[in-house]
Amino acid sequence: MQRDLSGRVVLALDGVADLASLPRLHDALQRLVGGGETADVAIDLDGVTVLDDATLGLLLGSAATARARGRELVVVCSDQRLRRRLSDTRFDAAVRVVVSLGDSVADDRTGRS
């Protein structure tokens, strides 16, 4: 994990994000969103090749937890195929999806969401 220019914690995923990888992702998100971390969180999907419904559900739940704690979970995704999936499932209506971490930081500075 790293931090972007705004201090947001960045969790970069890679490979297959499916039911088999869910326990590890759940643990990481729990530490970031449900634990003692107080910064906003960015989930970078640019290394993901497969994204299943269970992972989308976990990300939605984590975003809701972050909102309830006055924080934000944003998803970073530049891959057109994955962005289309996020749009088709209406995930992007519930969670802010940006093309790059730079876009996320710029949105924060201009007050856009």
Q: To the nearest whole number, what is the mean pLDDT of the chain? A: 87
Q: What average pLDDT does range 42-57 have in this prediction?
A: 95
Higher pLDDT, 109 or 39: 39
The yes or no reply on domain 2-108 and CATH 3.30.750.24 is yes
Residue with tokens 């994204």: 51
| pLDDT tier for residue 109 given thresholds of 50, 70 and 90 | very low
User: Using a CB cutoff of 8 Å and minimum separation of 24, what contacts does 32-38 make?
Assistant: 32/1, 32/62, 33/62, 33/65, 33/66, 33/69, 33/71, 33/73, 34/62, 34/65, 37/9, 38/71
Q: What average pLDDT does range 99-105 have in this prediction?
A: 74
| pLDDT tier for residue 30 given thresholds of 50, 70 and 90 | very high
pLDDT in tens, 62-96: 999 999 999 999 999 999 999 999 999 999 999 99
